[in-house]
Amino acid sequence: MSILVDEKTRLLVQGITGGEGSFQTQRIIEYGTKVVAGVTPGKGGTQILGVNVFDTVAAAANETAANASIIFVPAAFAADAILEAADAGIPLVVCITEGIPVSDMVMVHAYLKDKPTRLIGPNCPGVISPGKCKAGLMVGDIHLPGNVGVVSRSGTLTYEAVAQLTSLGIGQSTCVGIGGDMLPGSTFVDILQLFQKDEDTEAVVLIGEIGGTLEQQAAEFIKEKMTKPVVAFVAGATAPPGRRMGHAGAIISGSSGRAQEKIAALAAAGATMAPTNPAVIGLTMKKVLDEINGN
8 Å CB contact between 170 and 289: yes
* Whether residue 247 lies in the annotated active site: yes
Alpha carbon distance 176, 170 (integer Å): 16
Question: First and final CA of the chain: distance in angstroms?
Answer: 25
8 Å CB contact between 59 and 42: no
Alpha carbon distance 52, 15 (integer Å): 13
Alpha carbon distance 56, 37 (integer Å): 10
Of 132, 134, 153, 247, the active-site residue reads: 247
Instruction: Tell me the backbone φ, ψ of residue 187, rounded to 5 degrees.
Output: -100, 175
Alpha carbon distance 61, 87 (integer Å): 11
Alpha carbon distance 168, 79 (integer Å): 40
Q: Which residues are catalytic?
A: 247
